[in-house]
Amino acid sequence: MPSPSRPSHSAGSAQTLHPSSPRPSLFSYLPLAAAGDNMQNDHTFLYFAYGSNLLMERLQLKNPSATVHCLARLKNYKLMFGNYQGLASDRWHGGVATIEHSPGDEVWGVVWRMSLSDLESLDSQENVTLAAYSPVELSVKTKQREINCRT
């Protein structure tokens, strides 16, 4: 995974911000979407993740091509926990993250760029064949613009 640009701190020193200085946002720690980005190119696709798929180690376990593309928000949706029937998962012993259309709300997540060769393993991980997850293409808002992603 490309290493995002992060402020460096040496041991024993702390970065001091003046009270009127702008605070760094989450956007300052993650790469930004480039102007030519599309849902997919010949070999990759963009995947908007929330919930446990924010964790790089979990996602890359079965999808090794996944690299952080950018941070984004999905407008007019809210994050929910439970399955499509609102029930807890027997496997997880709790609710799994899902999204539901909700005007005025938003869900923050990470956009991953993934190889098309990982699409089958992603669908398997998300139990698409069991109808636990239905992939869709949605538009998400990055710091600079909107991009289309699978989620």
The model's pLDDT over 31-54, given as tens digits with 9 standing for 90+, comes to: 444 444 545 567 999 999 999 899
Output the pLDDT for position 79. Answer: 93
8 Å CB contact between 110 and 30: yes
Is residue 74 situated within a structural domain? yes
pTM of the model: 0.69
Active site (annotated) includes residue 137: no
The greatest distance separating any two alpha carbons of the chain, rounded to the nearest whole angstrom, comes to 53
Output the pLDDT for position 9. Answer: 35
Is residue 1 situated within a structural domain? no
User: Which residues have C-beta within 8 Å of that of residue 27, sequence separation ≥ 6?
Assistant: 71, 143
| Total tally of structural domains belonging to the chain | 1
52 is in an annotated binding site: yes
Residue 56 has pLDDT above 80, yes or no: yes
Is residue 143 situated within a structural domain? yes
Each residue's pLDDT tens digit, 60-101: 999 999 999 999 999 999 998 876 566 666 776 777 788 999
51 is in an annotated binding site: yes
What is the CATH classification number for the domain harbouring 99?
Answer: 3.10.490.10
50 is in an annotated binding site: yes
Q: Is 12 helix (H, G, I), strand (E, B) or coil?
A: coil
- Domain range for 95 is 52-150
Is residue 25 situated within a structural domain? no
Nearest to 95 by CA among 108, 106, 110, 84: 84
133 is in an annotated binding site: no
Is residue 63 situated within a structural domain? yes
49 is in an annotated binding site: yes
Is residue 42 situated within a structural domain? no
Is residue 132 situated within a structural domain? yes
Could you say which of 120, 126, 137, 146 is catalytic?
126
Tell me how crowded residue 43 is: count the other CB atoms within 10 A of its CB.
10
Is residue 31 situated within a structural domain? no
